[in-house]
Structure 1
């Protein structure tokens, strides 16, 4: 009996000890899982960053382009090897890009604090529109396209900015720009006739909302990349080269561009007035060939800086009777000393050198030099910087055939003018004009004259030019956010030189007789794009 009692008590003690050990080994209760919460404050796609009151949206697109007889993203064959139509030109150019965007927003007592950034991971045909070894710079910093080799590519930075209490800081669209930038209906990034900062310019700006769709913005833009073309010093050796262009003699940036707009957004559309002030400044009076400084540059003095500027009026008309979602977009611009506000692309402003057929000469050629101003130092010179005048208009009619098909008809027209006359005498009494100084420098590099297109048997010099563009693009969207596009674009250079001349064109062109003549080119672009 004692043995049985001892056995029972021992077993009970063992069970108590075992149960205590098991209880000690039980896992601690896990914390509640914090699921991602949808943020509906700022539209579809936003969610709260876990553990914070900040909403974030991740997005972007993947795009594949191919252009025939043009540059990447639809630049016409208007200069370089492709403008010459020589053996170095690429008959087609392809580019693949994935854009990644990050948009964060936080509600505060001062309003929404927003940050936005976009990076483009892309790969383009090496050299873009040329595979001329002499045209491909060996310095990667000067030519990022050299990274477009097997297994490489590069990252381009677009918008990177902070918005707070009406202010914007960073790389964003200019306060001068329209909402459609340089894309009223086209997919190419080279529709001239107005300003374009579609990948962002470093700036500080403030926007005030007055209610009923009325707003106003003012900003300071860094002009280094987006707002400058060139300033020519026409007194330097070989001031104007074989292609009718000179070397850039701009000085360093002394002041930002002052820009702004007044905008009215309504159900019927949009109306906007924009203005910009732009400083034009030259480096030195004495420069070497290629506008490089010499030991005499600093003591030679410099031209006085001048302020130019630009104005633009833009209009969008919605709800037109041709169909649901159809609209018309148009903007018109005028600039004095701020030609980039008219001859603008998603990159640098082009100058034009296009070659074609001739009935009597080796070939025909059309030139167009894009500048903000020119100067010729000296008592009989231009009296400082002579500002270049430019104006342009562009627009598009956008039509939806049905939910899957749409077409846009777009076009643009631009003009660049140099003041004065071609025969203004640099050595005579008084000062010369921009046109007189340019033509004197042009004659120095194009001395050969021959019987050609005029009765005098010489060429007549006039650096003025006009450019026209007309195109159509049709889009097919078989499923949401997937679009296939095909675009054809005609480009016309209406140059004002006449007659013919014997001169040494840029190699591989020979020294020969060339006829000055208007030029035309056509390109075809295809695109597949998936937004996400």
Structure 2
């Protein structure tokens, strides 16, 4: 297979009476062929649902073109599409996004950074939650009758359901995966807070984020929907059972960077760890 990759960076800076005004734009393009198992950063950061096969359904070459970043910075404010301030390492040394890290793709945000002094800074950021969504599975769909079913019509196609047993319920019946909730509304932005310390030897950072999970009803495109709490079978008509409309997920991360110019100019060591509940995309895993 072959890959044609392009990246254009435009970085304009102007000194004003209130400090530097910066405008940054990054446009990425890709043309991969015959590389079904070879990911590239453009395809991952654009948020494609499925891995690239290199060709479309007609056998033609797939093309990608997107705006990875487009933001303005002035007097401590950052506005536009940029990397989340939650990030620390952010894949600085990578050409392909194949590792588990906090940098998935850019997001739309509005942030303010205050410089405290002696290398310390603090940032508060409001960020688009759409870029940090993970699938939500309906608990009403995880009924025993879904396990071991032979086939059903889902999205107009016949599919064999693979028996996946996660455990048993109170009655001793096996529990399987349910249908995905396709509706996740944007009611609240993600809120990110950061404390950072920069020195000639390197940097350290603590990050935290809060992410709202706002759901709709279960998906009901064919197949068995499961049972409600009374044990009655759910249908496309009565599947609108009582549910929790909103929950809040969260994530925390700590990072350390140590500059290593004694190896070669620009070299550095990175160490970071992240933990999340209900906001797994902040750890790089959806």
TM-score by length of 1: 0.40
Q: Any conservation in 2 of the 1:122–1:155 contact (CA below 8 Å)?
A: yes
Deviation at 1:142, TM superposition (A): 7.6
**1:154 corresponds to which residue?**
64
CA change 1:229–1:182 in 2 (3 A) is farther
Quick check: which one's helix share is greater?
1
User: What residue is the counterpart of 1:256 in the other structure?
Assistant: 189
Q: Could you say which residue in structure 2 is the equivalent of 1:222?
A: 128
Give the alignment of 1:509-524 within 5 angstroms.
none
Q: How many residues matched?
A: 236
Q: Which residue matches 2:102?
A: 195
The equivalent of 1:339 in structure 2 is: 280
Cα shift at 1:229? 1.4
- Checking the alignment, whether the CA contact within 8 Å between 2:260 and 2:269 is kept in structure 1 is no
Q: What is the CA deviation profile of residues 336-388 of structure 1, one whole-angstrom value per residue up to 9, with x for unaligned ones?
A: 111112243xxxx3xxxxxxxxxxxxxxxxxxxxxxxxxxxxxxxxxxxxxxx
User: Where does residue 139 of structure 2 map in the other structure?
Assistant: 234
1:177 is aligned to 2:87 = yes
Shift of 1:109: 2.4
* SS of structure 1 residue aligned to 2:180: coil
Deviations 1:154-194 (A, max 9, x none): 3122001111221111110111111x3135x55431211x4
Give the superposition deviation at 1:200. Answer: 1.6
Question: Is there any run of 5+ residues in structure 1 with no aligned partner, and where?
Answer: 1-92, 131-140, 350-532
Other-structure match for 2:36 = 128
Alignment of 1:336-375 (within 5 A): 336-344=277-285, 349=286
Moved over 4 A (4+): 141-145, 147-152, 237-241, 243-246, 289-297, 320-326
Alignment of 1:435-450 (within 5 A): none
* Superposition map of 1:296-335 within 5 A: 296=238, 299-319=240-260, 326-335=267-276
1:160/1:326 CA distance change after superposition, 3 Å:
closer
Map of 1:67 onto structure 2? none
Contact 2:207–2:252 (8 Å) recurs in 1: yes
CA distance in 2, matches of 1:270, 1:148: 49
Which residue number corresponds to residue 95 of structure 1?
3
Pairwise CA RMSD of aligned residues?
A: 3.3
Deviation at 1:333, TM superposition (A): 0.9
**1:182 is paired with a residue of what secondary structure?**
coil
Q: Compared with structure 1, are the counterparts of its residues 107 and 294 closer, same or farther at alpha carbon in structure 2 (3 Å cutoff)?
A: farther
Is the aligned partner of 1:279 residue 2:187?
A: no
Q: 1:233 to 1:282 in 2, by over 3 A?
A: same
Partner Cα separation in structure 1 for residue 75 and residue 2 of structure 2: 42
The residue correspondences of 1:461-476 to structure 2 (distance < 5 A) are: none
- Taking the aligned partners of 1:96 and 1:148, their CA distance within structure 2 comes to 20
On the 8 A contact 2:140/2:178 being kept in 1, the answer is: no
Contact 2:31 2:61 in 1 (8 A): no
Structure 1 residue 201, shift from structure 2 partner: 0.6
Q: Which has the larger radius of gyration?
A: 1
| 247-256 or 96-105, larger mean C-alpha shift | 247-256
Quick one: distance in 2 between partners of 1:119 and 1:313?
A: 30
